[in-house]
Structure 1
């Protein structure tokens, strides 16, 4: 059996629980002694220190697709800003590219340089799997971000948004607004219809709507671009003379969606966005458009990847977890942003 197919040759995934001691001192008060609280608060990470305290300098390679829309640009900016906060991180950023072969060559270069960890947002997960396996076999942990690789052995950890959860969150919010209107017309503006992430979002949306007796009346597909959003929405509005709610999967294409709505002079419905752009959050905050909410798809995933790569390379445990090491998979939450909580999320918004 080849080394690549034998999981014993891969980096081990820590799964053992760290030992914990139950303190059974006979206290007459329910409040623990102050000294105990202080001690426990410091026992995050390795060596009794918090994970953010300086450690051994590590070199992290970072590769992501080209910033051809707001969300992807925010992904890269957040990763770079996070790396800059650590004096013990040397970040080597590959040129952002949508050329699969070029991205593969960048990872090969990181392997040849012997970096301590790689944070990878693959343009194509299947295409980047082989070189990621090469990195893992070379002893370099790969932290895979957003788009999954096709082998569980190709990464030490994976950080994902929740596409199905986005749909659930959007559908649940619309149910809260329209659940007592079984004949409500709910429209859906997808991104690229045949992508798995789009299909996951649509499935979550349909499942959530069905819980309150609603369903998608009209579904159109854009292409995650402003022009695509405008064209798809114009067609939608011409086909449906009355609409109660719209879910638009992507706030970047939402610029075109809003342009079509304004051109048509339609405002009888409310709209829920997707991803969490700052532009949309500001419109929600202002309360002067059909935009009522948006669903977060975190643009902080690669930044989380940088922090996790540093932690793994320095052989630290994850703070606030009892289990040893770092999780193999982290899936981030997809909360709904409304006028009631928008202030909480403004710092995470990105410009479309």
Structure 2
């Protein structure tokens, strides 16, 4: 009973914080990068974890040093917005923030986290590069009794309330299903689909793929996947892979890109092939970047499922609640919106 009360209180606190200073948490806002709707917690799961159970050192949050480990270079809108959100929230709260960027190198991310600990970080926010491979860094944090909040990618074999405190992020399987639903609507439920897979080694790619395929399988065989290849979550690779797939499979009539950057690359490739993206070849993707939402307005993209990168408020409030003695659930799932031809023009200004 006590655990249930703590869980309810935590969800209420998380949801309330995301509304602060945000007139419309579902979208809208100013036009600057990273603006628009803040994250809201839609669900939490797993038992709660307290500071005593975790074995963390209790510190005054206002005097804490937060270390942030970013997995990839701020070279795409998601990473730019994610890092900026963490930075802005730390500044707003007056908390000292140390930042490191692993530039897509797993060994570097392990070293970065160990370096943040050596610099005196007593709270950590980590955006994992892969779902495996960070154990040495997690062990180093545990040895120093430093709690770790993971965001945007899950750790597969690590244990919550031991190796890390909680995961905050989207339901990636559901994102895949929602993208499939958009593609069914855009195509009328028939056609040949190419999947631009995300980077290997993380649950985002695995889950977005399984959700998408499971939805199509449940709909019957009207839409069939004829090709899939990794575009590594980059625009350049998304373009080159799409060019290859269109040559090898000229029957392709739809593309599912597991992030917006690959989708934008696919749009360029489709145009280069003499076909019209959004018409001859339907395109759906996941992220919710402004360029992709504008693509819906322009007619080159048919639908986008959001993956909200504005983790700053939820990550910081989670750490603050934890230090105050509240129980934190193992997983906090955020609520993501989606864009289609019916709302893109009205919502594009609030996309990141």
TM-score (norm 1): 0.73
Report the alpha carbon displacement of residue 302 of structure 1 after superposing the two structures with TM. Answer: 5.5
Report the alpha carbon displacement of residue 164 of structure 1 after superposing the two structures with TM. Answer: 1.6
Report the alpha carbon displacement of residue 337 of structure 1 after superposing the two structures with TM. Answer: 1.2
User: What is the 5 A alignment of 1:159-170?
Assistant: 159-170=168-179
- 1:174 corresponds in structure 2 to 183
Question: Judging changes above 3 Å, is the alpha-carbon distance between structure 1 residues 253 and 312 closer, same or farther for their aligned structure 2 residues?
Answer: same
* Matching residue within 223, 242, 257 for 1:248: 257
Report the alpha carbon displacement of residue 113 of structure 1 after superposing the two structures with TM. Answer: 4.8
Q: Does 1:305 align with 2:315?
A: yes
SS at match of 2:329: coil
Q: Does 1:67 align with 2:55?
A: no
Q: Gapped runs of 5+ residues in structure 1? A: 1-13, 21-39, 318-324
Equivalent-residue separation in structure 2 for 1:206 and 1:227 (angstroms): 25
Given that 1:165 and 1:334 are in contact with CA atoms closer than 8 Å, whether structure 2 keeps it comes out as no
SS at match of 2:341: coil
* Matching residue within 182, 194, 205 for 1:198: 205
Q: Gapped runs of 5+ residues in structure 2? A: 22-59
Equivalent-residue separation in structure 1 for 2:241 and 2:333 (angstroms): 30
Q: Does 1:293 align with 2:264?
A: no
Q: Does 1:341 align with 2:343?
A: yes
Given that 2:102 and 2:112 are in contact with CA atoms closer than 8 Å, whether structure 1 keeps it comes out as no
Higher strand proportion (structure 1 or 2): 2
Report the alpha carbon displacement of residue 142 of structure 1 after superposing the two structures with TM. Answer: 0.7
Report the alpha carbon displacement of residue 132 of structure 1 after superposing the two structures with TM. Answer: 1.5
Q: Does 1:272 align with 2:284?
A: yes
Q: Does 1:134 align with 2:140?
A: yes
- 2:114 corresponds in structure 1 to 108
* Matching residue within 314, 325, 328 for 1:326: 328
User: What is the 5 A alignment of 1:10-49?
Assistant: 15=3, 17-18=5-6
- 1:31 corresponds in structure 2 to none
Equivalent-residue separation in structure 2 for 1:194 and 1:63 (angstroms): 18
* Matching residue within 210, 216, 241 for 1:209: 216
* Matching residue within 84, 91, 112 for 1:77: 84
Determine which structure has more spread, i.e. the larger CA radius of gyration.
Answer: 1
Given that 2:307 and 2:336 are in contact with CA atoms closer than 8 Å, whether structure 1 keeps it comes out as yes
Report the alpha carbon displacement of residue 50 of structure 1 after superposing the two structures with TM. Answer: 7.4
Report the alpha carbon displacement of residue 327 of structure 1 after superposing the two structures with TM. Answer: 1.9
- Tell me the C-alpha RMSD between the 2 structures: 3.3
Report the alpha carbon displacement of residue 193 of structure 1 after superposing the two structures with TM. Answer: 6.0
Given that 1:190 and 1:219 are in contact with CA atoms closer than 8 Å, whether structure 2 keeps it comes out as no
Report the alpha carbon displacement of residue 80 of structure 1 after superposing the two structures with TM. Answer: 0.9
Equivalent-residue separation in structure 2 for 1:227 and 1:19 (angstroms): 43
- 2:232 corresponds in structure 1 to 223
Given that 1:190 and 1:220 are in contact with CA atoms closer than 8 Å, whether structure 2 keeps it comes out as yes
Q: Does 1:156 align with 2:144?
A: no
Equivalent-residue separation in structure 2 for 1:209 and 1:124 (angstroms): 27
Report the alpha carbon displacement of residue 170 of structure 1 after superposing the two structures with TM. Answer: 0.7
Equivalent-residue separation in structure 1 for 2:329 and 2:177 (angstroms): 25
